[in-house]
Structure 1
Amino acid sequence: MHLSLRHIFLCLSVALNALCAGAMFTFPLISPILGRHCKLTQPQLTTVVLAGMMSQYTIAALVGWIIDNRGPHCCSLASALLFATGFGGFAWEIRSTPNDILEPVYGAFYRLTFCFFLVGLGTVFAYFSALFAASKSFPNHLGLASGASMGLFGLSPLFFSVIATSCFTDVNTGLLDVRRYTTFLGSATFIVYIAGFIFLQGVPRMVGSISHQEMQAVADDSMIVETTPLLQTSRSSSFSKPSELSVSELLRESDFWLLVLFAVLIMGMCEMVISNIGTIVASLPATSGTRQSILESSTAFQVNLIAASNTLTRISVGPLADFVSPIAAYLPTGIVFPTKHRISRFAFLAGPSLLLALTCAWMVYGVEHQGQLWLLSLGTGLSYSSVFTILPSLISSLWGMQNMGRNFGLMMYAPFIGTPTFSYLYAFVSARYTPAGIGICSGRACWEPTFAFSIVSSFVAFTISCIMWRRWKGRI
Structure 2
Amino acid sequence: MRRTTQVTVAYLVGCLSMLGAGTVYLFSLYGPAFNAVLHFSSSQTNVVASAGDYGLYLSGPVCGALVDRLGPRPPAFLGGGLLLVGYSLLAHLFNHVPADTDDASPHTVALAAFAFALVGMGSQAAYMAAMSATARNFARHRGLALGTAIGLFGLSAFFFSQMHRLPVLHEEARFLAFLAAATSGAHFIAATGLRVVPPASPEVIDVPSEAARLIGPVDLVTPVAPVPRALNPASQRTFFRDPQALYLFLGLFGVTGAGLMFINNIGTVIDTLAATDAAPAATLQLRTHIVSLLSLSNFGSRVLSGQTSDVLLRRHGLPRIALLLTAAVVMLFSQLGVTHLTSTTGLYLLTVLIGSAYGTVFALGPTVTSEYWGNAHLGYHWGWLVLAPAIGGHTCNTLFGLVYDAHAPAGTPVCTGAHCFQNSFRITAGLCLFSAIALARLLVLRFRVLKAQ
TM-score of the aligned structures, taking structure 2 as reference length: 0.88
Contact kept in structure 1, 2:301 and 2:356, CA below 8 Å: yes
Rounded Cα–Cα distance in structure 2 between residues aligned with 1:100 and 1:375? 41
CA separation in 2, counterparts of 1:75 and 1:208? Answer: 24
Question: Which residue in 2 is equivalent to 1:343?
Answer: 318
For residue 250 of structure 1, what is the amino acid of its counterpart? Answer: F
Structure 2 distance, partners of 1:204, 1:43, is 49
- Partner residue of 2:266 out of 263, 274, 277: 277
Matched residues in 2 for 1:102 and 1:455: separation?
A: 35
Residue 303 of structure 2 aligns to which amino acid in structure 1? I
Residue identity in the other structure for 2:310:
D
Corresponding position: 1:188 with 2:182: yes
Tell me, yes or no, if structure 1 residue 297 matches structure 2 residue 297. Answer: no
Match of 1:42 in 2: 42
2:174 is the alignment partner of 1:199:
no
Task: Tell me what 1:433 maps to.
Answer: 407
Counterpart of 1:177 in structure 2 is 171
Match of residue 311 from structure 1? 299
1:355-386: CA deviations, max 9, x gaps?
1121122122x311012112331121011111
Q: Hey, what's the Cα distance between the residues in 1 that align with 2:246 and 2:158?
A: 33
Q: How does 1:223-372 map onto structure 2 within 5 Å?
A: 245-286=234-275, 290-326=278-314, 340-364=315-339, 366-372=340-346
Report the alpha carbon displacement of residue 431 of structure 1 after superposing the two structures with TM.
0.5
One-letter amino acid of the counterpart of residue 350, structure 1: L
State the partner residue of 1:397: 371
Conserved 8 A contact 1:284-1:444 = yes
Rounded Cα–Cα distance in structure 1 between residues aligned with 2:4 and 2:145: 18
Cα distance, 1:245 vs. partner?
4.9
Q: Distance in 2 between matches of 1:309 and 1:371?
A: 18
Deviation of residue 210 (structure 1)? 5.8
Shift in alpha-carbon separation, 1:134–1:297, aligned structure 2, 3 A: same
The residue identity in structure 2 corresponding to 1:345 is: R
Q: State the percentage of identical aligned residues.
A: 26
CA distance in 2, matches of 1:405, 1:211: 17
| Alignment match, 1:450 | 424
Map of 2:136 onto structure 1: 136
User: Higher mean Cα deviation, 263-272 or 290-299?
Assistant: 290-299
- Structure 1 unaligned regions, length at least 5: 170-175, 226-242, 327-339
SS in 2 for 1:251: helix
Q: In structure 2, what is the equivalent of residue 28 of structure 1?
A: 28
Alignment of 1:376 onto 2:372? no
User: Take 2:362 and 2:272, find their aligned partners in 1: how far apart are those partners?
Assistant: 29
Does the aligned pair in 2 maintain the 1:324–1:341 contact within 8 Å? yes
Provide the C-alpha distance between the structure 2 equivalents of 1:464 and 1:202, rounded to a whole number of angstroms: 34
Rounded Cα–Cα distance in structure 1 between residues aligned with 2:237 and 2:105: 47
Distance 1:319 1:361 in 2: 29
Cα deviations by residue, 1:1-52 (Å, 9 ceiling, x for unpaired): 6656544432321111011111121111111122111110001100111111
Find the residue that maps to 2:166 and give its secondary structure.
Answer: helix
With over 3 angstroms needed to count, the CA separation of the structure-2 counterparts of 1:262 and 1:245, relative to structure 1, is: farther
Distance across 2 between alignment mates of 1:90 and 1:313: 31
Shift of 1:184: 0.8
What do residues 407-437 of structure 1 show as CA deviations (whole Å, max 9, x unaligned)? 1111011112111111111110001011145
Pairwise CA distance, 1:100: 5.6
Q: Contact 1:38 / 1:105 at 8 angstroms: preserved in 2?
A: no
The CA distance in 1 between the partners of 2:332 and 2:440, in whole Å, is: 15
1:89 aligns with 2:63: no
Distance in 1, matches of 2:91 and 2:198, equals: 37
Where 1:14 maps in the other structure, the secondary structure is: helix
How far apart are the structure 2 equivalents of 1:367 and 1:66? Answer: 44
Q: Which has the larger radius of gyration?
A: 1
Kindly tell me: are residues 276 and 437 of structure 1, through their superposed partners in 2, closer, same or farther at Cα, counting changes over 3 Å?
A: farther
Q: Which amino acid aligns with 2:301?
A: T
Residue aligned with 2:416, SS: coil
Whether the 8 Å CA contact 1:13–1:195 is kept in 2: the answer is yes
SS at the partner of 2:273? coil
Whether 1:418 aligns to 2:406 is no
CA deviations on 1:380-399 (whole Å, 9 max, x unpaired) are 10111111111122122222
Cα separation, 2, equivalents of 1:474 and 1:67: 33
Tell me the equivalent position of 2:223: none
How many residue pairs get aligned? The number is: 428
Distance across 2 between alignment mates of 1:3 and 1:261: 39
Distance 1:3 1:80 in 2: 27
Q: Which segment drifts farther, 183-192 or 148-157?
A: 183-192
* RMSD of aligned alpha carbons: 2.5
**CA distance in structure 2 between the aligned counterparts of 1:353 and 1:284, rounded to whole angstroms:** 26
Deviations 1:114-143 (A, max 9, x none): 111111110101111221121111122211
Deviation by residue 1:262-309 (Cα, 9 ceiling, x = unmatched): 11111111111111111011111349x834233111111111111000
Partner secondary structure for residue 466 of structure 1: helix
Relative distance call for 1:71 and 1:39 in structure 2 (3 A) is same
| Residues 248/199 of structure 1: CA separation in 2 closer, same or farther (3 Å cut) | same
Contact preservation (8 Å) 1:97, 1:105: no
Distance 2:150 2:133 in 1: 12
Distance 1:378 1:267 in 2: 15
CA distance in 1, matches of 2:5, 2:243: 46
Distance 1:209 1:438, change over 3 A: farther
Letter in 1 for 2:358: Y
Q: Which residue of 2 aligns with 1:238?
A: none
Structure 1: distance between partners of 2:103 and 2:245: 48
Q: Is the 1:341–1:474 contact (alpha carbons within 8 Å) kept by the matching residues of 2?
A: no
The AA in structure 2 aligned to 1:472 is: R
